[in-house]
Structure 1
Amino acid sequence: MKLNFIKTAIISIFFSSSLAVSAGQIYVDAGSGSDTNAGLAADSPLKTIQKAVDLSEPGDTVNIAPGVYAERPIIRRGGTESSPITIKADKVERGRVILSSADQSIRQGKIKWKLEDSDLQLYSIPLDHNPARVLYSGTDLMPYPSLDCLKHFYLLEQCPGPRHGFFYVAGEHKLYVRLHHDSGKYGPSDPGRQLMCVAPASAPGYNGEKITLPEHANLTIDIKGQAHLVIDGLTFETPGAAGVLTWSSKVTVRNCWFDGCRFGVFGGGEHDKLPSEVIVENCFYHNYPAFDDVAELITTYKDTEVMTKYPIFWWHRKGRFNDSEVMKNYETGIAGGVGKDWQLRYNLVRNAFEGLSTWGNSWSENLRVYGNVFEKIVDNALETENHSRNMRIYDNVFHNVFEPISWQPLDGEPWPGPVYVYRNLFYADFDIQQLWPWRPACFKLGASERNWTKEHMGKCPEEQIKTPISKRFVMVPYPGFLVFNNTVIMPYANLFNNPQPIEGPSIRDLVNFRFFNNILVTHSFHKRDYFTGSLIEFYNNIAVNATNSRQTEIAAGLDGQVLPDLGAVKLADPSKADFRLLPGSPAIGKGTAEIDRSDSSKDIGAIPDGKSWPELPAGPQPR
């Protein structure tokens, strides 16, 4: 009896200890910690995040003190549905807890920069690889295709480029940089007086998309199946490819910053084995100053021969007039390798080339993109191609985006869809609208000839019209590409851009695209005044477009309204981005609920009568 009592007591103590540890706090401090410490108290922290995650159990929280952590942790231990593991900064603040893959000798100033040319302010430093990205005090440097190009700030064929950049000379094992001379905007042109973050080499692949190894990311999650893991409040800095690489499902990344990251969060694996149920929320992704560089270039060369000699010369970060062997382009975004049931919500994507690209979204399923703010985007905020299925885009703000939404598959069938775009605000400031040398569009819709060059599409030359799989029609999977209850105030832009033939023997029509209950205020319907909308369906829209009455009537559609100007829509104050409906607005009660019965409103536009646009908690939020 006594022996049984002792055994029971021992078992009780064991389980009590286990429970205490499994719901414990683990502390990390790169400055004062040691991996020989227990790490269970703030005054005896571990030194590395790697040691902390190796010790963590379901329910644990890893608390990270301020500092720069020059490590690439690999997380191999996960939590459970009821007891996730949380890895968090002690406070949500940019640059407070930095997970950096930058060359630390350069970052810490241990290696000095050499002034090579005082007139050009050209500097060099020893380096053994071509870096994926280079930042100076958070400012992204343009990768140039040669040293001579960097010296003259032009790209291939002498196309002008941004006035700051870098180039790596492999034969010399040297990195050359030129910083912007406008010290008032970006600080001194001497890199020795800047915080220089030089990334590792890019991941392999044509566009650096083969992101498979821990050295390609700041942090890797390598747990079989579901991780039940939360990453909170970290700043990810200059990895080779991604801030977070996850091979695991059930991961949440929140309140994080992605500085010098090609992708924010990337799912690893083949397209049929990508991780699922990943949430990216309240994060900040950027390529600063990608948009500002474009604005500066266009302002400088808008009315010169550069315009005709170098079409779309401002797409330098897309790779135009550059060398793909030297630079992996910026068609990336806040997420990549998106699998099933991902959510991108309440993020801020600003001053970037793209928000979510086909390189990251090709095989998503049931992706939800909502509550985000996309601002100052050079190309597309969201690309729904190549094969995404059941993607929903709602309650977002698209502000000063060149072409916010793209449906432009490049890989053939299966065509992306269905896609739902609803309750979003699209608008642009007057000065930004006037910036573009040619008119942007709100929606880029079309399938180019490139799709039929693919093996499974017949491997046909682009000019071939008679093909095994017809080129005549492109149909979105049922119920289609549905655009409804959005407010579009882009009076300088076209409604559509169609990257496919719209006339002649190779004409291609779009099937199962439906626009209803939208406020559409644009300069024109399409850049071609004879375009009649293909087979796109329009119902119950309010259309304001003074340049082509026929196209305006088409955009309004059955039971829609053509209005003479923005004032006739009766919105509260569009000049201040207040798009509430005023009493007596023709948008009130004039929509249809017959097409989408769950998410549509009978009030036309994104904001129903009597409601206001919610203040979106976009970007990192204090705890």
Structure 2
Amino acid sequence: MKHQKLTALAITFLTVFSLNVRSATWHADAAKGRDTNPGTTRAAAFATLQRAIDAAQPGDTVVAYPGIYYEHITIRRGGTASAPIRIMADRVERDRVIISGAQRNIREKRIAWELVDPDLGLYRVPFDYRPTRVLANRADLLAYPTLADLRAFRFIADDYLGHKHGFAYDPETKHLYVRLRSDGRYGPTDPNADAVTLSVSPPTGAGRFGVEPTKRPDNYNLALRFSGPAHIVIDGFTFETPGIAGIYTTASDLTIRNNWFYGCRIGIAAPRADIPEACSKPHANRVLVEHNYFTQFPAFTDIEDITPAEAADQRTRPEWRHKIVHWQRKGTRPHPNQTVGYPYGYEVGAIRGAADGWEIRNNHFYDMFEALSGGAIGHSANANIHHNRFERICDNAIETEPRARNLRIHHNLVIDTFEPFSWQPQAAVPLPGPIFVYDNIILQTPRTQAMLAANTGASFKLGIKDDDWQQDRMGDIPPDAAPAPGGFWAAHNTVFTPSGRLLTLLNPPQRRLRDFYFINNIFLAHTLAPRAGDSGIVFDGNIAGFQGAFPSVLAVTTIPALASTAAGPHGRTLPNITENTEGLRLPLDESNAFAPFTPDSALAKVGIDLAALTKAAAIAPPGQLPIRSTPGAAKFDIIVGPQPRADN
């Protein structure tokens, strides 16, 4: 027995020792390397990241040097918890190390664009397919479905306004056409100019929404195609124009840090459990997504360019869907032809397929149509989304539908976002819950407040529309209730949206929300909701102030009464939301929203305590929900986007 123990110890020692000895650094240099090199030094670097990654063993590091890596990388094995594999750019710097799915001949100007129409600035090149995305100096050009649409800068079949730039593919002549902005905002109007870089992506993916993998390797810039723990860190890259996603993983225990995502339909993707063809596939659990930058620029900026005259003209159209002027990139319902089309739409968001235990923190989501859609978080369990900056988002920052479970959303800064948080189940039971939304700050800048061409949404979009209600799929839930299992808890948030609503209520009036609690918040908005009546939400301990209401609402109630409803029994109402009132520093912006009260403000103590909440709530308040006497978000620090490493 003693001999066996000694042998076991010796084997363990030798195993650990051998791992330490084998730990190595592999080098890739797209500009100067060769895949026939040993790859063990920069001077003898591989040419491709694929070759370096293939060589890496647990505990190894892969370093990529400046250049553009036109690769579709596949990772088939990982590290271990004690010996992870680190795949990193040599320095954290945008565009220093690019992994690109772009057509190389076009990006490197090996072929010339033909000027077709000088008056329109319309150019074309021979091409074999409709690409998913086209970037011009990192500006994401609008995808028009036909050449006629591109010529008109309008979605003709949908009778819907477009934007002043874009691309289209003509399958009859097999040409790709582009029109760049005539004002030169993103560079010269001629795509042949040296100052313009055109990045044209591969085709879109499979499935109704074009997000399911095909057999093409160019679906992704980098794919982890194995199951189980990966123990891999991906750090410091710029991902550009894949067919579907910058990073795809079926593996778990992955860290994605300090990256930029441009021209990616999805930044980070994993199989979704609700897709029939993915049900039997492994799912990615315990993924850490931190300090990344996601963008679909200029999705929001384009909306700012819509003039009041253009918006007014659009709103003369007969259908309600025409009157919403920011859905050019939506690509899904309700337009008959879906504007850009389902397989090319932007509503899929920055992430897709979060499963169990994802943590999404310290990221910057900037100028996007959608940030974290239902496809991202809606099938997750135990996800933790915190200390992110959501900025200039056309639609939603975070969607909890169809069935996110035990979701925490806290300490995020949300700026100029149409409808930040959504609870809109569209499928069947189980419904999303419990959901914890606390210590977030939601702001609207003066520029967006004055943006008459854009619609104003609500901070919380809640409910189940009649179109989405199917009693045979709702189990024992009665048709007059929309319950959040375990509760939807919104506590200690600070909301300042002078041109927005607090609530969008999707339920018909007879279907009340159940187990929704809005506690100890600061709510300063244009109005409460589009209709009067009891929504079913429990409000208490809030500071609330509104400055307007819909005419149909004012026919049955008053603005002070709306504020009183949102404040709750122990809360306080404010008569003015833009001037300093009772020690609240108004108007709120980034300079004061993190500490909105003056030292002597009486408003700082109007929140209810846990005992009062427990008495008011129909279900027990969860322990992880912070309840303080001071309404609004607690002060927090927020550092987002890629950060320099200590070894830079």
Residue type at the aligned position of 1:618: V
Of the three residues 186, 197, 206, the one matched with 1:204 is: 206
**Whole-Å Cα distance in 2 between the matches of residues 491 and 60 of structure 1?**
53
Residue type at the aligned position of 1:473: A
Asked whether the 8 Å contact 1:298–1:314 carries over to 2, the reply is no
Measured against aligned partners, the alpha-carbon deviations of 1:156-178 in whole angstroms (never above 9, x if no partner) come to: 24322001011111121110111
Secondary structure of 2:467 counterpart = helix
Partner of 1:475: 483
Asked whether the 8 Å contact 1:144–1:327 carries over to 2, the reply is no
Measured against aligned partners, the alpha-carbon deviations of 1:79-122 in whole angstroms (never above 9, x if no partner) come to: 11111100000011111100000111111111110111111111
Asked whether the 8 Å contact 1:301–1:307 carries over to 2, the reply is no
Secondary structure of 2:485 counterpart = coil
**More displaced 10-residue stretch of structure 1: 193-202 or 324-333:** 324-333
Partner of 1:411: 427
Partner of 1:36: 36
Shift of 1:24: 1.3
Of the three residues 398, 404, 407, the one matched with 1:388 is: 404
Shift of 1:216: 1.3
Of the three residues 276, 284, 290, the one matched with 2:285 is: 276
Gapped regions of structure 1 (runs ≥ 5): 1-10, 459-467
Q: Assess, with a 3 A threshold, how the Cα gap between structure 1 residues 531 and 40 changes in structure 2: closer, same or farther.
A: same
Partner of 2:8: none
Shift of 1:18: 4.0
Secondary structure of 2:53 counterpart = helix
Asked whether the 8 Å contact 1:145–1:322 carries over to 2, the reply is no
Matches within 5 A, 1:532-551: 532=534, 534-547=535-548, 548-551=559-562
Measured against aligned partners, the alpha-carbon deviations of 1:541-594 in whole angstroms (never above 9, x if no partner) come to: 111124411111110012111122242252346255312121122332332341
Residue type at the aligned position of 1:139: A
Measured against aligned partners, the alpha-carbon deviations of 1:483-512 in whole angstroms (never above 9, x if no partner) come to: 00011111221110112312xxxx211101
Partner of 1:94: 94
Residue type at the aligned position of 2:561: R
Partner of 1:221: 224
**Whole-Å Cα distance in 2 between the matches of residues 388 and 215 of structure 1?**
30
Asked whether the 8 Å contact 2:396–2:420 carries over to 1, the reply is yes
Secondary structure of 2:329 counterpart = helix
**Whole-Å Cα distance in 2 between the matches of residues 413 and 172 of structure 1?**
48
RMSD over aligned CA atoms reads: 2.2
1:568 paired to 2:577: no
Asked whether the 8 Å contact 2:500–2:525 carries over to 1, the reply is yes
Sequence identity, in percent? Answer: 37
Q: Assess, with a 3 A threshold, how the Cα gap between structure 1 residues 366 and 13 changes in structure 2: closer, same or farther.
A: closer
Asked whether the 8 Å contact 1:161–1:297 carries over to 2, the reply is no
**Whole-Å Cα distance in 1 between the matches of residues 113 and 254 of structure 2?**
41
Partner of 1:499: 506
Residue type at the aligned position of 2:255: T
Secondary structure of 1:148 counterpart = helix
Q: Assess, with a 3 A threshold, how the Cα gap between structure 1 residues 311 and 20 changes in structure 2: closer, same or farther.
A: same
The alignment's TM-score, normalised by the length of structure 1, stands at: 0.91
1:434 paired to 2:450: yes
Residue type at the aligned position of 1:231: I
**Whole-Å Cα distance in 2 between the matches of residues 412 and 15 of structure 1?**
50
Asked whether the 8 Å contact 1:539–1:560 carries over to 2, the reply is yes
Partner of 2:26: 26
Asked whether the 8 Å contact 2:311–2:325 carries over to 1, the reply is no
Partner of 1:3: none
1:452 paired to 2:469: yes
Measured against aligned partners, the alpha-carbon deviations of 1:369-416 in whole angstroms (never above 9, x if no partner) come to: 100000000001111111111111000000111111111111122111
Q: Assess, with a 3 A threshold, how the Cα gap between structure 1 residues 344 and 569 changes in structure 2: closer, same or farther.
A: farther
Secondary structure of 1:292 counterpart = helix
Partner of 1:353: 369
Residue type at the aligned position of 1:275: A
**Whole-Å Cα distance in 2 between the matches of residues 607 and 569 of structure 1?**
18
Q: Assess, with a 3 A threshold, how the Cα gap between structure 1 residues 454 and 335 changes in structure 2: closer, same or farther.
A: farther
**Whole-Å Cα distance in 1 between the matches of residues 496 and 582 of structure 2?**
11
**Whole-Å Cα distance in 1 between the matches of residues 412 and 494 of structure 2?**
11
**Whole-Å Cα distance in 2 between the matches of residues 46 and 274 of structure 1?**
32
Partner of 2:497: 490
**Whole-Å Cα distance in 1 between the matches of residues 592 and 145 of structure 2?**
44
Partner of 2:351: 335
Q: Assess, with a 3 A threshold, how the Cα gap between structure 1 residues 398 and 13 changes in structure 2: closer, same or farther.
A: closer
Shift of 1:211: 3.4
**Whole-Å Cα distance in 2 between the matches of residues 27 and 250 of structure 1?**
24
Q: Assess, with a 3 A threshold, how the Cα gap between structure 1 residues 21 and 153 changes in structure 2: closer, same or farther.
A: farther
Secondary structure of 2:345 counterpart = coil
Partner of 1:401: 417
**More displaced 10-residue stretch of structure 1: 491-500 or 211-220:** 211-220
Number of matched pairs: 592
Shift of 1:434: 2.6
Residue type at the aligned position of 1:605: P
Of the three residues 276, 285, 293, the one matched with 2:294 is: 285
**Whole-Å Cα distance in 2 between the matches of residues 450 and 166 of structure 1?**
34
Asked whether the 8 Å contact 2:292–2:642 carries over to 1, the reply is yes
Residue type at the aligned position of 2:642: P
Asked whether the 8 Å contact 1:145–1:326 carries over to 2, the reply is no
Residue type at the aligned position of 1:442: S
The alignment's TM-score, normalised by the length of structure 2, stands at: 0.87
**More displaced 10-residue stretch of structure 1: 247-256 or 313-322:** 313-322
**Whole-Å Cα distance in 2 between the matches of residues 258 and 248 of structure 1?**
20
**Whole-Å Cα distance in 1 between the matches of residues 52 and 640 of structure 2?**
30
Of the three residues 579, 599, 620, the one matched with 1:583 is: 599
Shift of 1:360: 2.4
Q: Assess, with a 3 A threshold, how the Cα gap between structure 1 residues 431 and 90 changes in structure 2: closer, same or farther.
A: same
Secondary structure of 1:192 counterpart = coil
Q: Assess, with a 3 A threshold, how the Cα gap between structure 1 residues 67 and 312 changes in structure 2: closer, same or farther.
A: same
Q: Assess, with a 3 A threshold, how the Cα gap between structure 1 residues 163 and 85 changes in structure 2: closer, same or farther.
A: same
**Whole-Å Cα distance in 2 between the matches of residues 314 and 29 of structure 1?**
42
Matches within 5 A, 1:228-243: 228-243=231-246
Gapped regions of structure 2 (runs ≥ 5): 1-10, 549-558, 614-620
Q: Assess, with a 3 A threshold, how the Cα gap between structure 1 residues 453 and 298 changes in structure 2: closer, same or farther.
A: farther
Asked whether the 8 Å contact 2:205–2:343 carries over to 1, the reply is no
**Whole-Å Cα distance in 1 between the matches of residues 260 and 44 of structure 2?**
28
**More displaced 10-residue stretch of structure 1: 535-544 or 151-160:** 151-160
Shift of 1:322: 3.8
Secondary structure of 1:142 counterpart = coil
Asked whether the 8 Å contact 1:101–1:199 carries over to 2, the reply is yes
